[in-house]
């Protein structure tokens, strides 16, 4: 996939292709034997220690930004793209679906993802005419730093920070979604199977769970290959200007990562706004390139 992305970007006319060094040499190994017109640059090379976690992504994004990178192709799921959005809020990116939950990334052929990102990076197709800001959930605990989610913020009871297991549906208290899709895996279909909300619509969806025996019971794919029954009491749309309160005790999971711990009666303020990174429209970019004869 990395080699295909590099081939697409190179054909699109980029000056340089920047890849991240990591212990498995996925990106660096993919491009080292390719005959590319673009200069290949590696960030993180010679690093004495890899964390094999978000810190590596944050460091790579900072290095790429310092080098003047103008478009990113991100391989990962919702969680990986969330890290990118936090580290570089104004980034222009093509997220390619390779993660566990992939509501935010796109199922796109990597060659075309690279070509679209390359056309934008090279300035041959204008970014602002062929991209849009994405929605994010701003999460502001009363005690602690603010953070964000791209797809879902979930208040869990009797859970703990750092838990990597799939969510236990009986522990879900509330879910705030930017995208509620019935054709997704994770928390998004909890709302999407009842009240779909698209990425293009403004605002989000608030889902309340586990309130009484009269809750609606919905079979949801909460993880790849794993359906579980979720008890939904209510699901209703939330306007972008509305601030919601999540109150502890509990843990707030952001795009699957359990990060914000709330003690008893501690609160966090959440709202949906369209201030995230710019999502490059691959189809629109390639159509513009065809109209302008850029591959002719």
Q: Yes or no: is domain 2-133+278-291 CATH 3.40.50?
A: yes
Give me the architecture of the 136-273 domain, per CATH.
Answer: Sandwich (2.60)
Q: What is the pLDDT of residue 38?
A: 97
Question: How confident is the model over 105-133, as pLDDT tens digits?
Answer: 999 999 999 999 999 999 999 999 999 99
Q: What is the mean pLDDT of residues 238-264?
A: 96
- Is 2-133+278-291's fold the same as 136-273's? no
Q: What is the mean pLDDT of residues 267-295?
A: 97
Q: What is the mean pLDDT of residues 147-176?
A: 96
Q: Residue 288: is its pLDDT beyond 80?
A: yes
Q: What is the mean pLDDT of residues 246-275?
A: 96
Which of the four pLDDT bands, split at 50, 70 and 90, describes residue 44? Answer: confident
Record the tokens describing residue 120, joined without a space: 């934008």
Q: Residue 51: is its pLDDT beyond 80?
A: no
HEC profile of the chain: CHHHHHHHHHHHCCCEEEEECCCCCHHHHHHCCCCCCCEEEEECCCCCCCCCCHHHHHHHHHHHHHCCCCCEEEEECHHHHHHHHHHCCCCEEEEEECCCCCCCCECCCHHHHHHHHHHHHCCCCCCHHHEEECCEEEEEECCCCCEEECCEEEEECCCCCCCCCCCCHHHEEEEEECCECCCCCCCHHHHHCCCCECCCCCCEEEEEECCCCCCEEEEEEEECCEEEEEEEEEEEEECCCCCEEEECCEEEEECCEEEEEECCCCEEEEEEECCCCEEECHHHHHHHHHHCCCCC
Q: What is the pLDDT of residue 49?
A: 73
Q: Are 63 and 35 in contact (CB under 8 A)?
A: no
Question: How confident is the model over 168-205, as pLDDT tens digits?
Answer: 999 999 999 999 999 999 999 999 999 999 999 999 99
CB neighbours of 160 closer than 8 A, spacing ≥ 6? 251, 258, 261
Q: What is the pLDDT of residue 220?
A: 98
When mean pLDDT is compared across 39-43, 47-51, 223-227, the lowest value belongs to 47-51
Q: Which residues pair with 95 in a beta bridge?
A: 74
Strands 147-149 and 136-141: antiparallel
In the chain, where the domains are located: 2-133+278-291, 136-273
Backbone torsion region of residue 203, taken as left when φ is above 0, otherwise alpha when ψ lies between -120 and 50, otherwise beta:
left
Q: Residue 47: is its pLDDT beyond 80?
A: no
């Amino acid at each position: 996939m990395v080699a295909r992305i590099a081939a697409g970007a190179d054909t699109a006319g980029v000056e340089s292709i920047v890849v991240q060094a990591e212990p498995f040499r996925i990106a660096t190994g993919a491009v080292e034997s390719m005959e590319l017109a673009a200069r290949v640059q590696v960030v993180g090379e010679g690093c004495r220690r890899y964390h094999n976690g978000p810190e590596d992504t944050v460091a790579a994004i900072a290095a790429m930004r310092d080098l003047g990178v103008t478009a990113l192709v991100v391989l990962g799921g919702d969680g990986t793209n969330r890290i990118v959005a936090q580290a570089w809020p104004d980034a222009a990116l093509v997220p390619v679906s390779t993660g566990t939950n992939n509501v935010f990334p796109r199922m796109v052929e990597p060659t075309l993802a690279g070509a679209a990102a390359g056309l934008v990076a090279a300035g041959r197709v204008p970014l602002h005419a062929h991209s849009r800001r994405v929605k994010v959930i701003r999460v502001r605990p009363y005690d602690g730093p603010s953070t964000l989610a791209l797809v879902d913020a979930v208040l869990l009871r009797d859970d703990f920070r750092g838990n990597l297991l799939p969510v236990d549906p009986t522990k879900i208290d509330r879910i705030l979604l930017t995208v509620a899709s019935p054709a997704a895996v994770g928390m998004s279909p909890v709302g999407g199977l009842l009240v779909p909300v698209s990425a293009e619509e403004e605002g989000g969806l608030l889902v309340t769970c586990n309130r009484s025996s009269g809750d609606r019971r919905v079979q949801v794919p909460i993880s790849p290959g794993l359906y579980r029954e979720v008890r939904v009491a209510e699901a209703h749309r939330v306007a972008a200007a509305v601030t919601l309160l999540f109150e502890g005790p509990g843990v707030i999971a952001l795009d699957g990562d359990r990060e914000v711990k709330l003690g008893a009666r501690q609160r966090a303020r959440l709202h949906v706004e369209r201030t995230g990174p710019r999502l490059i429209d691959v189809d629109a970019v390639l159509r513009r390139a065809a109209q302008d004869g850029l591959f002719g």
